[in-house]
Structure 1
Amino acid sequence: MKRALLFANTEWYLYNFRLSLARALQAAGYEVILISPPGPYGHKLRELGFDWRPAPMARLSLNPFSELRLLWWLIQLLRHEQIDVVHGFTIKCAVYGSLAARVAGNRPRIGAVAGLGYVFTSRSIKALVLRPMVRLALRLALGGKRARLILQNPDDMALFESARLARPDQLRLIPGSGVDVTRFKPAEGGAKRTVDDAFRIVLPARLLWDKGIAEWVAAAEKLKSTHPQITLLLAGEPDAGNPAAVPAEKFKAWHNAGIIEWLGKVDDMPALFQSVDAVALPSYREGLPKSLIEAAGCGLPLITTDVPGCREVVTHEQDGLLIPPRNADALAAAIARLADDPELCQQLGAAARQRALAEFDEQIVIEKTLGVYGDLQDAQSCQTH
């Protein structure tokens, strides 16, 4: 029986985004080992019967000794467990998993990069210094015929090709991790909303500045006087391991001042989406945002920015509204437009649901991902014959 290693930078990610893939791999005849830094969702994974193990990894560590220790730990794990294919999610895990796979016998390896991450999107000095090193590491990790890289939108595909981070024949375009359309579905029943009714719109995301948090708060302040029936909600918690994290104190202050309603961490996302009228994500750049395709599955109208990743989910005025990034005025205007036009909300939401069924159903995504595994197996067979 073949053995697959799924490697992510949080156990929360594995639990929320990759459980279905792990189950599909098991159904396809793989033994699956999950690894990530330690955290509470590791125990939940074990309770579901998965072999989850904590990795000695600090997401943002720059200590060379810690990084070499992690790399050596991965190499030893691959050798000891006789792993046949390594699948790393996010840039750091994709690079380290692939490097370890090369050293531990040139094993087949898959990197899945959901957006270019802090190093490529931030304008900070730290990110600018790290960028050339990460480019070099990507080239080393993705070298050889036994490597594949999954990207989530055409813009990232073009960037990786133009920067020569990977060969075109190694790249695969798969839109996100998919959505379970049987869980994320429209609310049943309920009265049809009118213009005078309350209007609730939520931004569900890791609480990072580059998700458009500042614009969200500014839009809420603008709408207070003109549209008092609108409530802007924020679902999520600060990501302490990310340099772009917004301090929790700010959310508490905004919440206490009545500017926004901060929900904190929400475990039941289908129930949240079924309780609101629309969803927004004014992000600066994405891979392919899970929150938007989940909201689309629930038949909600979407507001997002015309940037890579987001525009792959929303077509302007067909299943949502696209606005310029970093523009609080445009965000406020789009929210007001939906609140003032219940029929438009209904039309956009219905179209979003249809698109989720046609393009983002997780079964479609899993089938394409398993195809990458099969592609690697075929390549390996050609090399050994």
Structure 2
Amino acid sequence: MKPRIIHVTTIGITAYRALLAQCRYFRQKGLEVGFVFSPSPEGESLRDLGFPVTEIFIDREINVWSDSGAILKMFRYFRNIRPEIVHTHTSKAGVVGRVAARLAGVPSVVHTVHGFPFHPGMPQVKYRFYRQIERWMAGITDIMLSQSGEDVIIAGKMGIKPRRGELIHIGNGVDLIEFDPGKYSPGERLRVREGLAIRENNPVITMIGRINREKGYHDLVEALRQVRDIPWQALFIGPDEGFLTVLMQLIDRCGLRDRIQVLGPRGDISDLLAATDIYVLPSYREGLPRSLIEAQAMALPCVATDIRGCREVVEKDVTGFLVNPGDSEALSGALRKLLLDPGLRLQMGQEGRRRMC
């Protein structure tokens, strides 16, 4: 019987976008690989590729009844299929999945930190609560991996330590063949822009991420309001997590409905980045953001927040600009520099591509 690994993520897009390449590799090496995540469109796509998928709802918020139900369902599933390894990803799936796996007697429990849930700027009570949960969870985890080097340092200072050794820094990466600006001729770039109704010569500002407050979409809208005297159009890409109504109301109040397109989740990310001139990620918390890596691989200048994860990808004033979280004025200033200087955009974008290669 083939050794069996089950990956647990909160939503399917994490499994499909971040884990698919490594899971294909492990399958080629003779392992059986499956997934557990909340009902998601990606479930059918992964099944079509031959991966077993079990959909169990995992609430993104803390909900005792919902979380208990998810743990029970996962426990029963693990007891039934008897995996050798359960590998969890992201904070919430990491708690639910690790508790269920340990209760089910799974021999090895592995967790990848995609950014700790606590961060500077959040209320201290909440910060300490999340930090303590991470300490408890580490105590039932055999091996912990981290995409961010800073998170490894933080874990050491805060006593977040797995049962075997310390956190292991693994970084993050993307397929440089898929994310290669050289694949796109001027005509292909124009075709993508025309499909998005981008006006000729208007710079395109793009942000990719789950639509919630933590990602900083509201800060970007406010920053865009401050540069509305300059031609540009913006693309917001990602699934809604209950913040879309608030976001659209803010866009309307700022008078930007005709300049910002909210596209929802998309599967053609490299095409959309090929049509982009500036990439922005004004997030309050990240692990090692894949979207910034993809953007720099596509030779785009980036504006991001000066937080752990983002500052590991963006080289300040070389491949883009870093601003403080929540500082929409600094964000608008960085955007204004790039919008008014095509040469700077080109220079920073080329440096970003060189750094990713």
Task: Sort the TM-score into its range (normalised by shorter chain).
Answer: 0.7 to 0.9
* CA offset digits 1:288-321 (Å, max 9, x no partner): 1111111111111111121111101111122222
Question: In structure 2, how many angstroms separate the alpha carbons of the residues matched to 1:324 and 1:137?
Answer: 27
* CA offset digits 1:73-113 (Å, max 9, x no partner): 32332232120111001112222322233333352111112
Paired positions, count: 342
Question: In structure 2, how many angstroms separate the alpha carbons of the residues matched to 1:12 and 1:255?
Answer: 31
SS state of the match for residue 224, structure 1?
A: coil
- State the Cα distance separating 1:34 from its structure 2 match: 0.7
Aligned to 1:355: 355
Question: In structure 2, how many angstroms separate the alpha carbons of the residues matched to 1:246 and 1:107?
Answer: 44
Aligned to 1:323: 323
Moved more, 134-143 or 4-13: 134-143
Question: In structure 1, how many angstroms separate the alpha carbons of the residues matched to 2:276 and 2:4?
Answer: 42
- State the Cα distance separating 1:254 from its structure 2 match: 5.8
Which of 158, 163, 167 in structure 1 is aligned with 2:153? 158
SS state of the match for residue 74, structure 1?
A: helix
Higher relative contact order (CA 8 A, sep 6+): 1
Question: In structure 1, how many angstroms separate the alpha carbons of the residues matched to 2:330 and 2:132?
Answer: 39
Q: Are the aligned partners of 2:219 and 2:326 in contact in 1 as well (CA < 8 Å)?
A: yes
Q: Are the aligned partners of 2:251 and 2:257 in contact in 1 as well (CA < 8 Å)?
A: no
Which of 139, 149, 165 in structure 2 is aligned with 1:143? 139
Cα distance change on mapping 1:348 and 1:282 into 2, 3 Å: same
Alignment of 1:186-201 (within 5 A): 186=181, 188-190=184-186, 197-201=201-205
Question: In structure 1, how many angstroms separate the alpha carbons of the residues matched to 2:259 and 2:219?
Answer: 12
Aligned to 1:262: 261
* CA offset digits 1:27-47 (Å, max 9, x no partner): 222101111111222112111
User: Which runs of no fewer than 5 residues in structure 2 stay unpaired?
Assistant: 190-199
Cα distance change on mapping 1:136 and 1:323 into 2, 3 Å: closer
Cα distance change on mapping 1:25 and 1:131 into 2, 3 Å: farther
Cα distance change on mapping 1:324 and 1:142 into 2, 3 Å: closer
Q: What amino acid sits opposite 2:167 in the alignment?
A: L
Q: What amino acid sits opposite 1:179 in the alignment?
A: V
Aligned to 1:18: 19
Cα distance change on mapping 1:142 and 1:210 into 2, 3 Å: closer
Aligned to 2:96: 96
SS state of the match for residue 165, structure 2?
A: helix
Question: In structure 1, how many angstroms separate the alpha carbons of the residues matched to 2:72 and 2:127?
Answer: 22
Normalised by the size of structure 2, how large is the TM-score?
0.86
Q: Are the aligned partners of 2:235 and 2:263 in contact in 1 as well (CA < 8 Å)?
A: no
Q: Are the aligned partners of 1:186 and 1:274 in contact in 2 as well (CA < 8 Å)?
A: yes
Aligned to 2:192: none
* Percent identity for Structure 1 against Structure 2: 27
* CA offset digits 1:157-176 (Å, max 9, x no partner): 22222221215923011223
- State the Cα distance separating 1:121 from its structure 2 match: 6.3
Aligned to 2:238: 236
Question: In structure 1, how many angstroms separate the alpha carbons of the residues matched to 2:110 and 2:317?
Answer: 36
Question: In structure 2, how many angstroms separate the alpha carbons of the residues matched to 1:174 and 1:199?
Answer: 35
Question: In structure 1, how many angstroms separate the alpha carbons of the residues matched to 2:57 and 2:282?
Answer: 34
Q: CA RMSD in A?
A: 2.8
Normalised by the size of structure 1, how large is the TM-score?
0.80
Q: Are the aligned partners of 1:209 and 1:246 in contact in 2 as well (CA < 8 Å)?
A: no
Question: In structure 2, how many angstroms separate the alpha carbons of the residues matched to 1:121 and 1:110?
Answer: 26
User: Which runs of no fewer than 5 residues in structure 1 stay unpaired?
Assistant: 358-385
Question: In structure 1, how many angstroms separate the alpha carbons of the residues matched to 2:254 and 2:30?
Answer: 49
Which of 198, 212, 222 in structure 1 is aligned with 2:226? 222
Question: In structure 2, how many angstroms separate the alpha carbons of the residues matched to 1:340 and 1:293?
Answer: 24
